[in-house]
Chain A
Amino acid sequence: MINELLLQFAEWLYATSGSRAIEESFYLYNWIEATHVLTIMLCLGMLVFIDLRMLGLAMPGVSAVKISERLNIPMMIGFAIMFITGLLLFYAKPTYTIQSIWFRIKMVLLVVAFVNAVLFHKRMKASASTWEYEAKAPRHLRINAALSLGLWAGVVMTGRLIAYDWFHCYRELPAWLGAAAGCVAD
Chain B
Amino acid sequence: MYSFNHQLPNSVAAASSALGSADDGKFLAGGMTLLPTMKQRLASPSDLIDLAGIGDLVGISDSGDGVVIKAMTTHAAVAGSSVVQAKIPALAALAGGIGDPAVRNRGTIGGSVANNDPAADYPAACLGLGATIVTNKREIGADDFFTGLFETALEEDEVITEVRFPAAQKAAYQKFENPASRYAIVGVFVAQTAGGARVAVTGASQDGVGRISEMEQALGGNWSADAVANIDVPADGLNTDIHASAAYRAHLVTTMAKRAIAAAG
Determine if chain A interacts with chain B.
no
B interface residues with partner A (beta carbon < 8 Å): none
A interface residues with partner B (beta carbon < 8 Å): none
